[in-house]
Structure 1
Amino acid sequence: MKNDNSLAQRVYVLIAVMGFWAIVIGARLFFLHVVHSADYRQRAERQQQRTLEVSPRRGVIYDRNGNELAVSVKVDSVFAVPDEIEDLHATAKTLSPLVGVSKNDLIEKLDSPRSFVWVKRKVSAAQGAALRKAKLPGIYFQKEDMRYYPKRELASHVLGYVDIDEKGLGGLEYRYNDSIRGEAGRVLIMTDARGRSFNSIEQPVAPGANLVTTIDQNIQYIVEKEIAATAEKTHAKGISIIVMDPRTGEVLAMGNYPTFNPNQYAKYSPQAWINRALSHNYEPGSTFKIVTAASVFEEGLADPAELIDCQNGVITVFGRVIHDWKRFGLLSVKQIMQNSSDVGAIKLALRLGDERFADHIARLGFGKSTNVDLPGEEHGLARPASRWTKSSVGSIAMGQEISVTALQTVRMVSAVANGGILYQPYVVKRVQHPEKGILSETEPHGERAISAETAAKLQDMLEAVVTDGTAKSSKLDGYTAAGKTGTAQKIDETGRYSATKYVASFAGFAPAVNPAISMIVMIDEPVGAHHGGDVAAPVFKRIAEQVLRYMSLPPDVPSYAPQYVVKEPKRPAERTVKPATTASAQLVGLNVTTDFGDLIIPDFHGKSLRQVTEECLRAGLRLQSIGSGAAVEQLPPAGTSVRSGARVQVRFSSRVER
C-alpha cells in the first residue's frame, strides 16, 4: 500500500512537471509566434532575402521638333555574392582590369559577410561582354537604366547631368527631377541557410515623365559651332550665346564656353558645368544704353531727332570727369546710340534723375530673377536709387556700376523687338507622362515694360547702329538687323577697372521688322581685339544668317524693296544745343514702284505718332518717323502696294500745314 502511494506521488509529480513544462513551452511559443512574430519574421526575411534597388527610368528630354536630347538605355551592372566566390584573390585579379577597379579595392569589397555587394554599376557594353566571357563564380549581372546624351556636348548646360543613382544634378535634369525621375525598381534575391542565392523576383521600374523643350537642336548646333570657333580665335575665358523667340520668350538655343560632355561630366572641371548664360554677372557696358534711351523716351524727355551737345567727349558728373571713347560734338539722340557716345548717354540719364532711372531699370527686368525654369540663375546687381552715389547715374547710363546676366540682356532686347512686352523666358514647353498624359504646359507670359511707341523708336535707332554705327560688322546678308555693341572693362584684383580685361558683347534681333530671333553674344576676356563691334558683332552675323535661312524666312532686303532717304536740314554751326527742327525736312522717294506687293499703305495723315506706330507694327511695316505731332506727309503715299517689311517714312509736325 505504501509502495502504491509512493508510485502515485511520483506520477503526480511527473504530471506536474510535464504540465509546468508544457505551460512554459506554450508561453514561449505564444511569445514567439504571437507577441514577436512580426519581428522574427522580419529577421528571417532579412537573413533569407536581399533587396536590390534598380535605377529608375527617367523620361526622355526632346527638343521642340521631337528629337531626343537625353534618353535612358539599359546597361549591365555587376554584383557579387561573396559566399559563392571560391578563390577571392584570383577573382579580384581577373576582375580588376575588366572593370577598372584596383585589386585591393575589389578584395575589400568581396571579403564581406554580406550576401550581396556591387562590383561596378553601369559598365560599358565591352566590359559586360568581357565579364560574361570570364564566367567567374559568384559574379552576376543586373540590367539598369543609365542616362545617355546622344548629342554629347550639345545643350549640355541646359540639359544638365545625373549621378550613378539617376538623380539630377544640373540643368533640366535637376530642375524637373521629381517629374522625370520615375520610380526605382527592386530585385528580391532569395538565399538558403548558407547565404547562397537560389531565386530572384523583379519589380519593374516605373517610367518618369518626358520633357518637350523649346530648344531647336539645329539652332543649338549652329550656336555651339560658332562658340567653338570664337573660343579658338579669341582665347576667351568664357563665352555665352542665347537665341530667343522675342514674341514668346522661348529659348531656342543657349550655349556656353567652356562646355562639357554630360555622359562623362566627372572628367571635367566643375567650372565647366556652370551655365554662364544665367549664372555669370558682368557689367554690360554700352548695351545698357538701350535702357537709358528707353527710359528717357518713356518719360517724354527726348526724341530721336533731338540734338545733344556731347561736349567734345568730356563731361563732369558731380566732380567726376568722364571721357568719351571719341570726341563727339553735336549728335542727335539717334546718333548717340549709333556711335555709342558715353557723354550723350550720360546727359540723357541726367534728365531722368536717380529715382525714375532706377524704376525703369527694374521694369526692364534687371536686378531680379527672370524666373527661367533652369537652376542657378543669378539676379545681377541693380542697387536701389537710395544707394547710388551722386555720380552713379552717369556710370549706370553707360553700363557701369550695374551687373547683369546674358539672359536678362536678351530678355530686355526681346522686349524692344516685340513692341514693348517683357516675357518670362522658358525652356520647357510641356511635361508629358507616358501613362498620365500632359502634366503641365507652359504658356507665354509677359508684361508691358515700354510703350509700343518707345519700342518703335528704339528699333529704328538700333537698326542704324547696324547699318551705319558701331555694329557694321553685324550687318546680315539679305536680312535687316538691329542691335547694340558693348565693350566693358572688368574690375581687376585692385578694385579698379582693368586696362587689359574686357567683356565684349552684342545684343540684337533680326529681321529688324517682325523679328523672328533675338540674341546676345557675350565674350569674357577675349585676347587681342576686345571691342564688341570687332569680336561679338561678327558672331551675331554668322549665327543670325544661318538661323534665319534654316527657319526659311525670306530675305527682307532684296532689290525689289523700295528704298527711301531723308534729306535732313543742315546742322547749325554754333555749339549751343538746340532741338532738331522738322519743318524743313523733306521726304524724297527713290525708285518708288507700285503694285509689287499685297500690302496697301494706309493713310496716316492727321494721326499721332503712337497711332501710326501701332498701325505699322500691326501691318508689318518699318516706320521711320521724323518730328512730332500729327502726320503731315508720308512716303510712299497712301494706297501704294508694297510687301511686308517695306519702309515707310512719315513726317510729323505740331503746326497746321495747309
Structure 2
Amino acid sequence: MAMKSRTTVAVACVLIGFAIVVGRLFTLQVLDYPLYQKLSLSERERLSPIEGARGMILSADGKPLADNQIVISLAADPEQVRKSGNVRLLADRLAPILGESPGHLRQLLNLHRRFVWLAHDISTRKHHLIGSRIRGLYFLPEKRRIYPYGSIFRSVVGFVRPDGSALYGIEKGYDKVLSGHRGQMIREVSARGRSYFQVQTESLDRLSGDTVQTTLISGLQSYAQDALDEEVDATKAQGGIVLVMDPRSGAILAMASRGEGRWAGTSPGVSIVYEPGSIFKLVTASAALNEHRVRPDETFFCYNGSMRIPGGVLHDAEPLGDLTLGGILAHSSNIGISQVALRLGPSTFERYIRAFGFGKRTGIDFPGESRGFFRSSRQWSKRSIYTIAMGQEIGVTPIQLATAVSAIANGGMLMRPYIVSRVLSPDGKIVEQHRPVPVRRVISPETSRTLLSLLTGVVSHGGTGESAAITGFDVAGKTGTAEVYDSVLHRYSRTRTVDSFVGILPASHPTLVVLAVVIQPQGISWGGTVAAPLFRKVAEMALVHFRIPAEESVPAPALARADISEPGRTEAGKSTTPP
C-alpha cells in the first residue's frame, strides 16, 4: 500500500513537472512569441536608411543626359566596430586606402549610430585591399549619378555631388522632383557581426525619383557646343553663348555656353548681363513701327557719320547720308536709329522695352536667372534715349534677348521660355506637362512681318550680317558689337567687345531663333565677322535636323546705296560719352 502511494506521488510529480514544462513552453512559444521574436530580430537584424535612385534627365529625343549606375560603397555599424575594440587600428588601416584622414574615420566610427557611410563608389582594388570579413564593415550596392554626354550639357543639366546635393542647372531647379524617396533596409548580421545579408523592405522602384524630359535636342546641343568651343578657341575669346529657341512655343532647343573670368558662371545663358549693342536696335525699330511713328519707305538723314547730341557727339563708322529704316538696320547706323527713338519719346520707348521683357526675369524654369538692369525713363539723362536706342545703358541676358526676338519672329507674342517639357513618374506616367505660355502681345502681326522683311537686308545686299547668309534660305537677323564699359577708366574700351548675331529663319515662316554671342575675342572684331559665322554653323545644323526645306528667295527691300564696310565700333557707339 505504501509502495502504491509512493508511486502515485511520483507519477503526480512527473505529471506536474511535465505540465509546468509544457506550460512554460506554451508561454515562450505562443504567448510570449512576439516579444522573443522582437528580441531575436533586434540581435540579428539592423535597420539602415536607403534612398531611391535619382530620376533621369532626358533630351527631347529621349536620350539620357543624366542617369545612374550601380557602384559598391563602404558602410559601417559603429556599435559593432566599437565592440571589437579596434576603432583606432581600423581607422589607421582604412585611411590610406580611402584617401581619408585617420581622425575623420575615427570620428565616424565613434558616432552613436548603427549605420554610417565611410566611402562611396569603392573600386575593385580598394574592395580587395579592405577585405570582406571585418566586423562592423560591409559593402552595399548604391546608385551614383553619371552624365553620358560629359561637359557638353554640364551648364544646362547641372551636377550632383557624391553626397547627393544638386549644383545648378536642371539638377538643382528640379531637385525635389528628381530626388529619390527615403526608405529602410533590413540587414541580417551574424553573431560576430561580420556577415550581412541585405533584405529590402521597400521596392527601390517605388522609391525612385521622377524623370525630367527637356526640350533640348541632343545632337543640336552637341553641335552648338562644339561650334562655340571652336570659335572661342580660334578668337581667344573669354567665352560665348549659343541659344536656339522655337519662337512659336518658347521651347529652348539648345543652350551652349563657355566662360572665363567675370564671364564664367554655372548657367551663363540666363545669368550673365551685358550691354547688347546694336542688336537692341530691333526693339527700337519694332516700337517705332508699331506706334506708326516711322514708315518703312521714309528716309532719315544720317549727318554724314557725325551728329552732336547732349553731352557728346554720335558717330557712325562711315559717312552715311539718307537711309530708310531698312538701311539703318542693315548698316547699323547709330545716328539713324537715334532719330527713330526720338520719334517715340522716353515714356513710350520705356513702355515697349518693358513689354519686350527687359528689366525683369523671363520666368524660365531654370535656376539662376538674372533680371538684367534697366532704369526708369524718369532717371534718364538727356542723352539716354540716344544711347539706349543703340543698346547702351541697358543690361540684358541672352535668354531675355532670344525671347524678345522670338516675339518679333512669331507675329508679336512674347512667350515664356521653358526648358522642361514634362515630368514622368518611375512607371512612365505623365506627372506634369509643360505647354507654351503666351505672356502678352508686344507688337502687331503686321509690324512683325514688316520688320522681318527689313531684317533680311542685314544679311544680304551689303548689310553687316552677310557672313550669316545660308544658301536657299532668307535669314532675318541683326549684328551687335558692344564695347565693354571700363568702370576703372570710366569709358568704353576700344579693344574689349561682346560680339553677337541673332537670326530668324526661315524669314517667310519663322521656325527658329538662333543667338550667337562671343565674349571679348582678341583683336579687332565685330558681330558680323565673329558671331555671324558661328550663327550660320549652328543654324545650318538646325535646319538639317528639323528637315526644314529651302525656300524661294524673298526680295529684300531696296536699301540706300552707300559704300560701307562692317560698321565695327559704330555698333557699340564708342564715340558717345559713357553713361
Q: TM-score, normalised by structure 1?
A: 0.72
1:408-447 correspondence to structure 2 within 5 Å? 408-435=400-427, 437-446=429-438, 447=440
Q: Distance in 2 between matches of 1:231 and 1:393?
A: 33
**Which residue in the other structure is 1:587 paired with?**
none
**Which residue in the other structure is 1:158 paired with?**
156
1:397 and 2:389 are equivalent in the alignment: yes
**Which residue in the other structure is 1:499 paired with?**
494
| Secondary structure of 2:160's aligned partner | coil
Aligned partner of 1:178 among 176, 179, 200: 176
Give the residue type in structure 2 aligned to 1:230.
E
Return the offset for 1:480. Answer: 2.1
Task: Pick closer, same or farther for the CA change 1:86–1:150 going to 2, 3 Å.
Answer: farther
Give the residue type in structure 1 aligned to 2:478.
K
Give the residue type in structure 1 aligned to 2:351.
D
Return the offset for 1:43. Answer: 13
| Secondary structure of 1:526's aligned partner | coil
Task: Pick closer, same or farther for the CA change 1:315–1:199 going to 2, 3 Å.
Answer: same
Q: Unaligned 5+ residue runs, structure 1?
A: 1-41, 260-268, 572-658
1:207-356 correspondence to structure 2 within 5 Å? 207-258=208-259, 274-356=266-348
Q: Distance in 2 between matches of 1:392 and 1:166?
A: 49
Q: Distance in 1 between matches of 2:339 and 2:392?
A: 15
Contact 1:369 1:377 in 2 (8 A): yes
Return the offset for 1:168. Answer: 2.7
Q: Distance in 2 between matches of 1:244 and 1:122?
A: 39
Contact 2:485 2:493 in 1 (8 A): yes
Which range moved further: 155-164 or 339-348?
155-164
Deviation string, structure 1 residues 168-188 (Cα, Å, up to 9, x no partner): 332111111222213023234
Contact 1:54 1:144 in 2 (8 A): no
Q: Distance in 2 between matches of 1:567 and 1:388?
A: 35
Aligned partner of 1:534 among 511, 529, 532: 529
1:249-648 correspondence to structure 2 within 5 Å? 249-258=250-259, 274-435=266-427, 437-446=429-438, 447-468=440-461, 469-494=463-488, 495-557=490-552
Return the offset for 1:285. Answer: 0.2
Q: TM-score, normalised by structure 2?
A: 0.82
Contact 1:522 1:536 in 2 (8 A): yes
Q: Distance in 2 between matches of 1:222 and 1:569?
A: 38
**Which residue in the other structure is 1:122 paired with?**
121
Q: Distance in 2 between matches of 1:141 and 1:192?
A: 15
Alpha-carbon RMSD: 3.2
Return the offset for 1:270. Answer: 11
1:68 and 2:68 are equivalent in the alignment: no
**Which residue in the other structure is 2:22 paired with?**
none
Task: Pick closer, same or farther for the CA change 1:44–1:458 going to 2, 3 Å.
Answer: farther
Q: Distance in 2 between matches of 1:198 and 1:408?
A: 56
Deviation string, structure 1 residues 92-141 (Cα, Å, up to 9, x no partner): 455345433345544554466655442202335x4565457675554311
Q: Distance in 2 between matches of 1:458 and 1:225?
A: 32
Return the offset for 1:46. Answer: 9.7
Contact 1:293 1:345 in 2 (8 A): yes
Deviation string, structure 1 residues 490-523 (Cα, Å, up to 9, x no partner): 1223232122221111111222221221011111
**Which residue in the other structure is 1:168 paired with?**
166
Contact 1:220 1:254 in 2 (8 A): yes
Deviation string, structure 1 residues 274-312 (Cα, Å, up to 9, x no partner): 211110010000000000100110110112221100011
1:140 and 2:135 are equivalent in the alignment: no
| Secondary structure of 2:460's aligned partner | helix
Pairs aligned (count):
518
Task: Pick closer, same or farther for the CA change 1:208–1:296 going to 2, 3 Å.
Answer: same
Q: Distance in 2 between matches of 1:544 and 1:237?
A: 23
Q: Distance in 2 between matches of 1:70 and 1:401?
A: 40
Contact 1:529 1:535 in 2 (8 A): no
| Secondary structure of 2:48's aligned partner | strand
Q: Distance in 1 between matches of 2:142 and 2:152?
A: 25
Identity among equivalent positions (%) equals 35
Give the residue type in structure 1 aligned to 2:226.
K
**Which residue in the other structure is 2:34 paired with?**
none
Which range moved further: 465-474 or 96-105?
96-105
Return the offset for 1:64. Answer: 0.9
Q: Distance in 1 between matches of 2:402 and 2:169?
A: 19
Greater RCO structure (CA 8 Å; 6+ sep):
2
Contact 2:252 2:419 in 1 (8 A): yes
Contact 2:453 2:557 in 1 (8 A): no
| Secondary structure of 2:279's aligned partner | helix
**Which residue in the other structure is 2:75 paired with?**
79
